[in-house]
Chain A
Amino acid sequence: MKFIRNTFDKYKPLFDKGGKYEKMAPAFNAFDTLMFVPNHTTKQGAHIRDGVDLKRVMITVILALVPALIFGMWNVGYQHFSQLGEAGTFIDYLIYGSVKFIPMVVVSYGVGLGIEFAFGVFRGHDINEGYLVSGMLIPLIMPIDLPLWMLGISVAFAVLIGKEAFGGTGMNILNPALVARAFAFFSYAPSMSGDKVWVSDAATVDAISGETILGSLAQNKEAGYSVLDMFMGYIPGSVGETSVLMILIGAAFLLFTGIASWRIMAGSVIGGALMGLIFNALGLNALMNFPWWQHLLVGGFAFGVVFMATDPVSAAQTDKGKWIYGFFIGLLAIMIRVFNGAYPEGMMMAILLMNVFAPTIDHYVIQGNIKRRKKRQKTNLETA
C-alpha cells in the first residue's frame, strides 16, 4: 500500500498546475482517488462529512451485483450444455460462461472508460466514476452472444449521447445502461431479440431452443419452466436477469447499506402485481393468464427494479415521487409485455419512459407540498 501511495506522490507534481502533464491531471486524479480515499477537507464553515463518496457508493452497487453476476456466468454455461444434452460439472459451466462473459465486461469498461477519460482530459474536469456501475450493468443486460463490436458501439452511444451530451455523471436524464441496451435493441434487432440469442450458440446449433418464457408466452405457448426454475434462474435470458434469488441477495445488500431506495422497489412490485392481477382477471391470452406473481419472477423485472429503477441520478428524488415513479415502472413494464406481442419484455422501455417523467413527478410533488403548507399556514392564521 505504502509503495503505491509513494508512487502516486512521486509523480503528482508532474500533473499539478504548471506541471509537465497538467492536461492529463484528470486521468491521474482518477487513478489516485480510485486507489485511495481522497483527503480533501473543506476549508471554511462547519460541515459534517460522511466517509461515503461516490466511488464507495459505486463499489457497493458492484458488490451487490456479484451474486447475480456469478450465477449469470454459471447459467450461461448451464443453458448451453443442458440444451445440447451434454453433461458438465459446475466448473465447466462457470468456465464456459466466463469465457463468454468476461470479454463483454472488458469491452464495456474499455470503451466506456476510454470515452470518459477522453472527455475528462478534453474538458478539463475530473473523471466521474459513474461509469463503474453502468459498465458492469451493460454486459449483464445484453444477450450473451451479442458481437463485441455491437456492444462497443452501444456503450459509446450510451456514454456520448446518454451521458456526456447532458453534462456527464449526475446530469443524465436516462439510465446510461438502458440507453445502451435500447440502442442495441433498435439498431441490431436480430442480435437482440427473438428465440435464438438468449442461449449461447443457439443461432448456429439447431438443437437449442433458446426461447425465453416471455417469448413462448407471447406466441401463446406454455412457459415450459417450473416456478422454482424461474425463481432460481435456471432459464434462458440476459446474463444477469435470470436469478431472482441472487438479485434479492443483491437487493438486501443495497437496502441494508441504504444505497438503493426501498420505496422505488416496493412501488414497482406493487405496480407490477396490480397490472398482473388486472390482466389475470381479463385472461384473454397466454400472457394475460400468466399468474401475476410469476410475472414478477421472469424476464428483466426483478433485475430492472433492483438495479436500474433505483439509479439515484435518473430516478425521482422525493419520497412520494419515488412511490409514484416505481409504481408506474411496474405497471408499464407488465402492460408493455402483454400488449406488445412483438416485444415480449417491457422493463427497459418502462424504466426509460419513467426516467423521462421523473423530474415532472418531483415537480408536482414539491408543488403539492408547497400548496399544502400554504393552506396550513392560512388556517393556522385564521384560527389564531
Chain B
Amino acid sequence: MAEEKEPLFSKQNRALLTDPLDDNNPISVQVLGICSALAITVQLKPALVMSIAVLFVVIFSNVIVSLIRNLIPSRIRIIVQLLIVASLVILVDQILKAYAYDVSKELSVFVGLIITNCIVMGRLEAFALANGPWKSFLDGVGNGAGYALILVLVAFFRELLGSGKLFGFEVLGHKAKTIADSTGLYALGYENNGFMLLSPMALITVGIIIWFQRSKNRKLIEN
C-alpha cells in the first residue's frame, strides 16, 4: 500500500492539520457547527471544555470509522456512524459529569448535541470513509482544532467585553455598586457591554472574524 510508505508528516498530511485552521475552517469558512458556537461562548471555560469535547469526539469517531470503513455496508453507514458518535458523546458526557460537574451543568444539553454537530458527521462522510486511520486522525485533530480556535476566540471577546473577566478572573478590575468602590477600568466609569452576553453578539462576532479572515485571505472570497 502506498499510504504506508508515505512519511508520517508529509506535506499532504501536514495540510490535513493546518488547512482547517484557516483556509478551510469548519466554522468561519464552511459555516458548520454554528449553534454551539453561539450557545456556549459566553465564557471561556465552557467554550474550552466544549472544544476539547468536540476535539475528542471528532478524532476518535474519525479514527474508528476509518478503521472499519471497509466493513460498513454503505446503505446503513449513517446509522453506524451515528452509533459510534453517540457512544463517544455519552462517554464525554459521563466523564464531564464525574470530573467537572459545574462545567457539565453549564454546558447542559450542548454536550449531547455534539451528536448533531455538522462538523463531526461532515468529517466522517467526507473524509474518514475514504481515508486511512492516520490521515483521518490528522483530519480530526485539524478540524477539531479549527473549531476550537474560533470558539475560544469568540469566547475570549465575549467574556472580556461582556463580563470583564477571563476564565472567571476579573482582568479589568473589580466592579462594585458605586464607581468610587470599584477598581481598575471600572473606577474610570467603564461598564460591561451587556449585548456581548446575548447570542446575537456571538453571531456578529463570528461574522467579524469571517470578515477579517476574508479581507486577509482574499482567495476565500466567493463571487
Contacts and interface: CB of A to CB of B under 8 A. Distances in A.
Interface of A: 147, 149-150, 153, 161, 165, 183, 186-191
A191 B195 contact: no
Q: How would you classify the secondary structure of chain B's contact residues: helix, strand, loop or mixed?
A: helix
B101 interface: no
Interface string B158-200: 0000000000000000000000000000000111011110100
Contacts of A189: 194
A4 to B, nearest CB: 37
Given A147-B189, A150-B191, A165-B211, A187 B204 contact: no
Contacts of A183: 195
A187 B211 contact: no
A147 to B, nearest CB: 6
Interface string B124-148: 0000000000000000000000000
Contacts of A165: 207, 211
Contacts of A161: 204, 207-208
A186 B207 contact: no
25 contacts: A147-B189, A147-B191, A149-B189, A149-B190, A150-B191, A153-B193, A161-B204, A161-B207, A161-B208, A165-B207, A165-B211, A183-B195, A186-B194, A186-B195, A186-B198, A187-B193, A187-B194, A187-B195, A187-B196, A188-B191, A188-B193, A188-B194, A189-B194, A190-B191, A191-B191
A150 B192 CA distance: 10
A254 to B, nearest CB: 32
Q: Which 6 residue pairs spanning A and B have beta carbons closest together?
A: A187-B195, A186-B195, A187-B193, A187-B194, A189-B194, A188-B191
B161 to A, nearest CB: 9
A188 B161 CA distance: 12
A299 to B, nearest CB: 22
Nearest to B190: A149
B5 to A, nearest CB: 49
Nearest to B200: A186
B172 to A, nearest CB: 14
The CB with the most chain B CB atoms within 10 A, among A150, A161, A165, A186, is that of A186
